[in-house]
């Protein structure tokens, strides 16, 4: 994979951070209702309010022209959006022409159907969200998913040539006793595993304080059993990685609560309605849909300049008994995972 040429006007925020990574939520809809992400009864966006694929491509093109080299499609569940492969193919066509990589975060439920098409479109890596290997617990966490479908999807993706990284939200009293087994399984199957702290986004109807597990605590627990070597590996996101000698695999830690990663933030998030959020844990945003619809490429470019000015230094996630309410009202599925 070759590096892209330096753009004449790269996206650099007021803290000197260059924005090279765009996460695009193509839908807020999902076929699961994971307890830490969504409420049981969700009200989704009217389809008329969602960006068309043509609008997504126009906005993505504006970012690529300003130096964005990595795009990740998210949701909700991106693969439930009708005709999603048309967008994947068109964005994949930009690889080598300003874009270095197109990746997807998925719950895996639709991978059997789309794995070969994703590879053909230029996707080479997937993040699959999977929090347990216990079928009954999986049904409880997702509220409606079937573990067998996800495991079959992962198998299909690997057969198609896609590299897989498993994302696991670590929750005290829910799945924290499964961490070692999940790591052994993932590494044994040639997959990485990244552990994620729960984040206070949206009212999901559960007590996040009780289930919150600081990953420093988990890291120390695992380090008593496994031999870790720090890695310089970076995949564009906030994870910090170690190599695990006993399994031969890679373990990542994403710690937005116990140790934020804002000083090196290189990413912004586009919602399915065209709102550009400059920080996952803040409400600062720019309406790129209106900029494009009302003023075309010139207005869109100016909106990106404004976004760089207002991008905050970092988030202020706090989760304890004195501040147990969500840090922001929107659900993770709105902003994009």
Annotated binding-site positions for S-adenosyl-L-methionine: 36, 76, 129, 199
DSSP state, 254?
Answer: E
CB atoms within 10 A of CB 303: 20
Phi, psi of 335 (to 5 degrees): -75, -35
Compute and round to an integer the Cα radius of gyration of the chain. 19
Q: Could you list the residues known to form a binding site, using ranges.
A: 23, 30, 34, 36-37, 72, 76, 105, 129, 165, 199, 262, 265, 267-269, 279
- Comparing C-alpha atoms, which of 101, 124, 125 is closest to residue 3? 101
Cross-strand partners of 243: 229, 250
Q: Could you list the residues known to form a binding site for GTP, using ranges.
A: 23, 72, 105, 165, 267-269
Do 307 and 68 meet the contact criterion of CB atoms below 8 Å apart? no
Cross-strand partners of 127: 105, 165
Helix runs in the chain, H state only: 53-65, 84-92, 111-120, 135-142, 147-160, 179-188, 208-211, 215-223, 288-310, 332-335
**Peptide bond preceding 176: is omega within 30 degrees of 0, i.e. cis?**
no
Cα first-last separation, the chain: 25
Locate tokens 């304890």: which residue?
320
Alpha-carbon distance of 317 to 182, in angstroms, equals: 27
Locate tokens 């230094």: which residue?
313
Half-sphere exposure of 292 (CA within 13 A, CB side): 21
Do 258 and 172 meet the contact criterion of CB atoms below 8 Å apart? no
**Peptide bond preceding 76: is omega within 30 degrees of 0, i.e. cis?**
yes
Alpha-carbon distance of 105 to 126, in angstroms, equals: 6
Q: Could you list the residues known to form a binding site for [4Fe-4S] cluster, using ranges.
A: 30, 34, 37, 262, 265, 279
């Amino acid at each position: 994979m070759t590096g892209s040429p330096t753009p004449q006007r790269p996206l650099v925020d007021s803290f000197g951070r260059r924005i090279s990574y765009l996460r695009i939520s193509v839908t807020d809809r999902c076929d699961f209702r994971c307890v830490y992400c969504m409420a049981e009864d969700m009200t989704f966006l009217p389809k008329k309010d969602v960006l068309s694929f043509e609008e997504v491509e126009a906005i993505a093109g504006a970012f690529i022209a300003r130096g964005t080299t990595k795009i990740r499609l998210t949701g909700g569940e991106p693969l439930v959006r009708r005709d999603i492969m048309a967008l994947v193919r068109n964005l994949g066509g930009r690889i080598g022409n300003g874009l270095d990589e197109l990746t997807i975060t998925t719950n895996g439920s639709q991978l059997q159907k789309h794995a070969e098409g994703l590879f053909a479109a230029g996707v080479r890596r997937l993040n699959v969200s999977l929090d347990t290997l216990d079928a009954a617990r999986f049904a409880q966490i997702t509220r409606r998913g079937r573990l067998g479908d996800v495991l079959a999807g992962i198998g299909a993706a690997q057969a198609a040539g896609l590299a897989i990284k498993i994302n696991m939200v670590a929750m005290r009293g829910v799945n924290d006793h499964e961490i070692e087994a999940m790591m052994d399984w993932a590494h044994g199957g040639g997959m990485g595993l990244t552990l994620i702290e729960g984040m206070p986004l949206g009212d999901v109807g559960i007590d996040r304080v009780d289930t919150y597990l600081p990953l420093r605590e988990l890291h120390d627990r695992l380090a008593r059993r496994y031999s870790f070597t720090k890695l310089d590996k970076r995949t564009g996101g906030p994870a910090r990685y170690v190599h695990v000698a006993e399994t031969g695999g890679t373990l990542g830690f994403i710690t937005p609560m116990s140790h934020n990663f804002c000083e090196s933030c290189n990413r912004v998030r586009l919602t399915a309605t065209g709102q550009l959020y400059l920080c996952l844990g803040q409400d600062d945003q720019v309406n790129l849909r209106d900029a494009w619809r009302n003023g075309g490429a010139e207005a869109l470019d100016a909106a990106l300049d404004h976004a760089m000015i207002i991008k905050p230094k970092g988030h202020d996630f706090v989760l304890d008994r004195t501040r147990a309410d969500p840090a922001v009202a929107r659900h993770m599925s709105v902003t994009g995972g």
